[in-house]
Amino acid sequence: MLTFAQFGAGRIGRIHAANIAAHPRARLARLVDVQDDAARALAESVGAVVCDASSVFADPAIDAVVIGSPTDTHADLIEEAARSGKAIFCEKPIDLSEARVNACLATVAKAGVPLMLGFNRRFDPNFAELRRRIDEGRIGKVEQVIVISRDPGPPPAGYIRSSGGMFRDMTIHDFDMARWLLGEEPTLVHAVGSVLVDPEIGRLGDIDTATVVLTTPSGRQAVISNTRRAVYGYDQRIEVHGSGGMLQAANVPISTVSEAGAGGITGDKPMPFFLERYAAAYQAEIDAFIAAVEAGTPPNPGGEDGRRALMLADAAIASLKQGQPVAV
Amino acid sequence: MLTFAQFGAGRIGRIHAANIAAHPRARLARLVDVQDDAARALAESVGAVVCDASSVFADPAIDAVVIGSPTDTHADLIEEAARSGKAIFCEKPIDLSEARVNACLATVAKAGVPLMLGFNRRFDPNFAELRRRIDEGRIGKVEQVIVISRDPGPPPAGYIRSSGGMFRDMTIHDFDMARWLLGEEPTLVHAVGSVLVDPEIGRLGDIDTATVVLTTPSGRQAVISNTRRAVYGYDQRIEVHGSGGMLQAANVPISTVSEAGAGGITGDKPMPFFLERYAAAYQAEIDAFIAAVEAGTPPNPGGEDGRRALMLADAAIASLKQGQPVAV
Amino acid sequence: MLTFAQFGAGRIGRIHAANIAAHPRARLARLVDVQDDAARALAESVGAVVCDASSVFADPAIDAVVIGSPTDTHADLIEEAARSGKAIFCEKPIDLSEARVNACLATVAKAGVPLMLGFNRRFDPNFAELRRRIDEGRIGKVEQVIVISRDPGPPPAGYIRSSGGMFRDMTIHDFDMARWLLGEEPTLVHAVGSVLVDPEIGRLGDIDTATVVLTTPSGRQAVISNTRRAVYGYDQRIEVHGSGGMLQAANVPISTVSEAGAGGITGDKPMPFFLERYAAAYQAEIDAFIAAVEAGTPPNPGGEDGRRALMLADAAIASLKQGQPVAV
Amino acid sequence: MLTFAQFGAGRIGRIHAANIAAHPRARLARLVDVQDDAARALAESVGAVVCDASSVFADPAIDAVVIGSPTDTHADLIEEAARSGKAIFCEKPIDLSEARVNACLATVAKAGVPLMLGFNRRFDPNFAELRRRIDEGRIGKVEQVIVISRDPGPPPAGYIRSSGGMFRDMTIHDFDMARWLLGEEPTLVHAVGSVLVDPEIGRLGDIDTATVVLTTPSGRQAVISNTRRAVYGYDQRIEVHGSGGMLQAANVPISTVSEAGAGGITGDKPMPFFLERYAAAYQAEIDAFIAAVEAGTPPNPGGEDGRRALMLADAAIASLKQGQPVAV
């Protein structure tokens, strides 16, 4: 039985808390959040107690921590957890600065504790199946990856401001997917970006519509198509072209119902947003973390995956600014 | 080069005329229709001449006839054509009376001329592919057939009156499909029918909504689902369940375009009606007729197929009246 | 907080136990099963205790019971639970004899306790969406229902022997779906059945392949297509045709991944069997039961739904024997 | 009645000849090809006569020419036809050199004859429907276009050598699609390309796998994904994302048949290659050309469309060489 403490009782925190509580070999003992009410309500529903951060690190009964607090607290909490010898599951990103990430990962390495990054999409049953089939050799050698990743609507201005920009906040998941599926590290990034959805996003110095091309040394190519607004829902599709065939992971519809009428045959929209679309993925990633900690094997994706995805995001930002491809 | 005369310059006549004209090894020389204007216009566009029936039968240059005139002329024209030694392509049905069909087929048999019945659906590329795969053994032994056959809208009252009723007019195609796919003659027919679309159809003594179950001696089952009105277009689907798998032939959409919006993902409707849906089938069936006549092999489907489909229709009518299954 | 006892720690029992344990307003306190080991293991994982039936009925702390034990124990347990004033959730069927069902329902009525029948498919998100849209009037008046319901493989002979036959055991779910979607009680049943899958099933006096047609007084029609073996998985589809359009609920694939290769484009199979396909439905039905008990409203589907589905199954058995439609 | 002469009796020539012959308001009178046998056979089947080029230009009975001969003859034939006052339908490209294209178009402009370029995909019923819906405003303002365009297999080395390279030969169609759908001229091209299919293609100085990104002044983006080999057939899909929704044009399968077996649900592959996939498009483009000539309106796409697509191809070649985006 693995005993957890969790930082963060927000949207994503509630998901992790429930998944840990429901896990047959784990329990959530402590919950930390600056929003006391939210923390208390969530703690009660899963049988945990609310406390402050220092009691978590001081408590030898805590085996592992889940870090789901705001981004700017991640690196500090990771380091404190590492120094206290806790296994760490942290939401992406580790930090928005590559230097800080490097320092943080060095601390983790020194402490020798397991660290898993919350790249939840690797655990989506559909994308996981994609990868499994690539690994099985079903489409031969991977040649091109197309990641369609479109949010239903833009976040509020406040979120944009502290997000590190679209590439570090949203595309970072797609960078991870591309890396994970290409089977070779991308070494060149070329990004084009526009403000087509909301001029306010442009005023904040960010973009809302992007196409990013990644290439690898052997000539494999990935393209990511992003927008902050898709009126038909959360569009999350991937296709992988290989020497022996193509794999596609389609959207997950809300239901399999279709309606035939005078206007055509209408199928249901994709799941509205990440909480619904990736519900199974969140459950599977915590299970994978627990299994890795139990087995003493390095959890996957780990800190290096977080660092590499951030490097690709930073290269995309540079490419956008310079108007040309940037080497990673 | 096969030289044709054609009876009928209506909707279906125009299709056959164009397909013969475009065929590399056939030409349409003569056209007969009581509607002189229609005949003249069609003849001109394909380089044929308008004449009366007797000149067709008297002309030794005519190798083959296409009979696409009204149903009540079919049997007589078949017999005259047979006696003149012409190869015969006739739209279904031969006649609405089984006795008349039998007499007519006897005349054809005596004359030894080839006779093909226009069960066009056998030549639809999708249904033909279904059958080809069954014959290849892809789904093992056929066990159950489901024929979904739904017209976009009811015909006018005048048509209903002379149609012989829904089972002889519309379902007859589905009976042919069921026979063709079951791989064994159905020997029991059970039909339920209702008037749900238009009360006028009921007043004319017909039905507009039906479910018909056919069974064969070895226990294979077919079910036909019919209606005279489907607001989303012409619904023509078949699925075949076998010991080793299932084959489905889906509708043919007007285009492959789908539109994703706030209301869902809307694909195009099926082709509106038989002229569009079965355009390729009409072309393929004339080609098959020409090839059979050239090769001297019996065309398929032949007169016996017409007779058997009519027997199933008659059995369905009897079943509907008696409220119980009827043996064929 | 609703306190449950549960009878049965088998396959379906494990699902209900986990769903109750995970429910925020319910807990599973007691578990009864003749298989002591299974009961003990399941009880431990959800924090319940194993006991015998009489202690359940004697314990005033138990608000509700889940009956998931073998079919021949259902009616007795329902009656005992009713007399002890417990709310009752019972797996279908109440009993295989209509007389016994009637007696049992009379006892429940007299006791005035809530009784819900486990027709789980009503809670499948896809079928529930189908029904919701019918109720919204999206396809006008319902005219025809097509239920495709095909098991991946036949049960063992022992199961067949005590199952009451295919219509009472398997088709009963489809009868419930048809009733629920037709919007009018079927009054005529015509069934054809064959032994095409396994001769052993025939030797046991049962069938494995069936087509059943139901009709209602106003002429609505439903057809059910059943088999005990589909090599491609658990095939559970429904389509509903109305005056204003058609609704279809497609299968739920294992994943949304498709693979394009030289042989075609291959999508994933449907979920393998009911435990996977209806996982969300099992969760939703227990939630609906808990909500109904809390609200003091009659749970739905109730005992009468169980009785009516059984009547349709019995009529289908009679129809099969007599070779003609049977009135309900 | 429009009278045509045609240059070229090869693969594409046979298609145009048949479509003209079958057209109700056009006839093919003369056919020119250096391969005398091919010309003679084709001429016979459509009732044309074989002759040399000069007789075509000298014959005042010839209203229009179809140029389907090898690429290096296009510009000369266009100019001669223009000087003889013939309406011109020419397969893409006009020429591989932009200077030669400009000179040629100047000659056409001076002669004042209609010139249509064979960008057949604009006439594909699916892509045409895509465009029609964009024009109708169904998805608001276009923001991003994704063109998936993948050939089933690489052409022979000889073809590659004289093709002008992948971008001028294959991608040029996709450049035209992107321009046509973006609704704004792309002004920046960034191309990445690799040799992943066949090293021989690399030895010939060409690539076989490419991703090209186009951007417009207002920030609209198009991405083209190309390969010379897709084992599952000819992959021709387009999706267009707009402010109000998304449009997708899917592949056209060989049939609508799918097969459900132990390995999954397998649908048919896309049409094998352009002759089959774009059969309807070839017919529609000749019809549009005839209609434009009859009406005296400029045919569309015209010479300028040919020139612009070539400019994009040249920019892509430059981008590939320089490793950075190139302005058009």
pLDDT tens digit sequence for C162-175: 899 999 999 999 99
A146 touches chain D (CB under 8 A): yes
Q: What is the end-to-end Cα distance of chain B in Å, rounded?
A: 42
* pLDDT value at D35 more than 90: no
**Per-residue model confidence (pLDDT) at position A269:** 97
CB-based contacts of A312: which residues, under 8 Å, 6+ apart? A172, A175, A178, A179, A186, A189, A214, A328
Task: Return the DSSP state at D175.
Answer: H
Alpha-carbon distance of C102 to C304, in angstroms, equals: 9
Backbone dihedral angles phi then psi of residue D263, each to the nearest 5 degrees: -90, -5
| CA distance to partner chain B, nearest, from residue A261 (Å) | 5
Residue in chain C nearest D152 by alpha carbon: C262
Among residues B123, B244, A271, B322, which one has the least CA distance to residue D259? B244
Alpha-carbon distance of B166 to B227, in angstroms, equals: 9
Alpha-carbon distance of D178 to D159, in angstroms, equals: 25
Residue in chain B nearest C239 by alpha carbon: B148
Q: How far is CA B116 from the centre of its chain?
A: 11
Among residues D212, D238, D246, D127, which one has the least CA distance to residue A211? D212
| CA distance to partner chain A, nearest, from residue C63 (Å) | 21
Alpha-carbon distance of C60 to D65, in angstroms, equals: 95
B137 touches chain C (CB under 8 A): no
B265:A262 CB<8 A: no
- Cβ pair D237, C260 in contact under 8 A: no
CB-based contacts of A100: which residues, under 8 Å, 6+ apart? A75, A94
Identify the bridge partners of residue D227 per DSSP, sorted by sequence position: D150, D209
Secondary structure class of C147 (helix, strand, coil): strand
D265:C268 CB<8 A: yes
Task: Return the DSSP state at D46.
Answer: H
Alpha-carbon distance of A169 to C87, in angstroms, equals: 50
What tokens appear for C274 in the block? Answer: 């009911």
pLDDT band at C1 (very low <50, low <70, confident <90, very high): confident
Q: Neighbouring chains of A at 3+ CB pairs within 8 Å?
A: B, C, D
**Per-residue model confidence (pLDDT) at position A38:** 87
**Tens digits of per-residue pLDDT, A240-276?**
999 999 999 999 999 999 999 999 999 999 999 999 9
Residue in chain C nearest B244 by alpha carbon: C231
Which ipTM score applies to this complex? 0.95
| CA distance to partner chain C, nearest, from residue B87 (Å) | 40
- Cβ pair B145, B240 in contact under 8 A: yes
Q: How far is CA B138 from the centre of its chain?
A: 26
B129 touches chain C (CB under 8 A): no
pTM of the model: 0.96
- Cβ pair B266, B189 in contact under 8 A: no
Residues 216-245 of D with CB under 8 A from A: 218-221, 223, 225, 227, 229-232, 235, 241, 243-245
**Tens digits of per-residue pLDDT, D48-88?**
999 999 999 999 999 999 999 999 999 999 999 999 999 99
Nearest to D259 among B138, B252, B262 (CB): B138
Q: Neighbouring chains of C at 3+ CB pairs within 8 Å?
A: A, B, D
A248:C258 CB<8 A: yes
Regarding the domain delimited by D2-113, which CATH topology (the fold level of the hierarchy) does it fall under?
A: Rossmann fold (3.40.50)
Q: What percent of chain C has pLDDT over 70?
A: 100
D247:B268 CB<8 A: no
What tokens appear for C4 in the block? Answer: 């449950």
- What stretches of chain D show up as alpha helix (H) in DSSP? 11-22, 36-46, 53-58, 71-83, 98-111, 125-135, 157-162, 166-169, 171-182, 199-203, 274-277, 279-295, 303-322
Residues 55-114 of C with CB under 8 A from D: none
Pairing status of strand D87-90 against strand D115-117: parallel
- Cβ pair A149, A226 in contact under 8 A: yes
Other Cβ atoms within 10 Å of B158 Cβ, number: 9
Q: Where are the domains of chain B?
A: 2-113, 122-282+308-327
Task: Return the DSSP state at A165.
Answer: -
A257 touches chain B (CB under 8 A): no
C266:D266 CB<8 A: yes
Alpha-carbon distance of A78 to A102, in angstroms, equals: 12
CATH of B122-282+308-327, one of 3.30.360.10, 1.50.10.20, 3.40.430.10, 3.40.640.10: 3.30.360.10
A259 touches chain C (CB under 8 A): yes
D194:A221 CB<8 A: yes
What tokens appear for D11 in the block? Answer: 């693969």
Alpha-carbon distance of C245 to B184, in angstroms, equals: 34
Residue in chain B nearest A251 by alpha carbon: B265
Alpha-carbon distance of D248 to D253, in angstroms, equals: 15
Q: Neighbouring chains of B at 3+ CB pairs within 8 Å?
A: A, C, D
How many cross-chain Cβ pairs, A to C, lie less than 8 Å apart? 81
Which DSSP helix (H) or strand (E) runs through B76? helix B71-83
Residues 34-53 of A with CB under 8 A from D: none
Q: Helix (H) and strand (E) counts for chain A?
A: 13, 15
C260:A268 CB<8 A: no
pLDDT band at C46 (very low <50, low <70, confident <90, very high): confident
**Per-residue model confidence (pLDDT) at position A175:** 98
Task: Return the DSSP state at C270.
Answer: B
| CA distance to partner chain D, nearest, from residue C156 (Å) | 21
**Tens digits of per-residue pLDDT, A55-76?**
999 999 999 999 999 999 999 9
- Cβ pair A229, A201 in contact under 8 A: no
CA distances from C196 to A130, C193, C210, D199 (A): 37, 9, 10, 55
Alpha-carbon distance of C153 to C231, in angstroms, equals: 7
More confident residue, D16 or B33: D16
D232:C268 CB<8 A: no
* pLDDT value at C38 more than 90: no
A257:C268 CB<8 A: no
Instruction: Tell me whether the omega of the peptide bond preceding residue B270 falls within 30 degrees of 0, making it cis.
Output: no
Residue in chain B nearest A254 by alpha carbon: B264
Nearest to D213 among A197, A211, A246 (CB): A211
Q: At what angle do helices D98-111 and D303-322 cross, to 10 degrees?
A: 170
**Per-residue model confidence (pLDDT) at position D52:** 94
- Cβ pair D8, D35 in contact under 8 A: no
pLDDT string in tens for chain A (328-residue length): 899 999 999 999 999 999 998 888 899 999 998 888 889 999 988 889 999 999 999 999 999 999 999 999 999 999 999 999 999 999 999 999 999 999 999 999 999 999 999 999 999 999 999 999 999 999 999 999 999 999 999 999 899 998 999 999 999 999 999 999 999 999 999 999 999 999 999 999 999 999 999 999 999 999 999 999 999 999 999 999 999 999 999 999 999 999 999 999 999 999 999 999 999 999 999 999 999 999 999 999 999 999 999 999 999 999 999 999 999 9
B chain contacts of residue D248, beta-carbon cutoff 8 Å: 257-260
Nearest to C250 among A133, A138, A256 (CB): A256
**Per-residue model confidence (pLDDT) at position A24:** 80
Instruction: Tell me whether the omega of the peptide bond preceding residue C93 falls within 30 degrees of 0, making it cis.
Output: yes
Sheet-wide strand order for A64-67: A49-50, A26-32, A2-7, A64-67, A87-90, A115-117
Secondary structure class of B208 (helix, strand, coil): coil
- Cα radius of gyration rounded to whole Å, chain D: 20
Interface test with D, best of C148, C229, C232 (most D CBs within 10 A): C232
Backbone dihedral angles phi then psi of residue C115, each to the nearest 5 degrees: -130, 125
Write the DSSP assignment of B39-65 as a string of letters.
HHHHHHHHT-EE--HHHHHH-TT--EE
Those residues of chain B that have pLDDT short of 50 are none
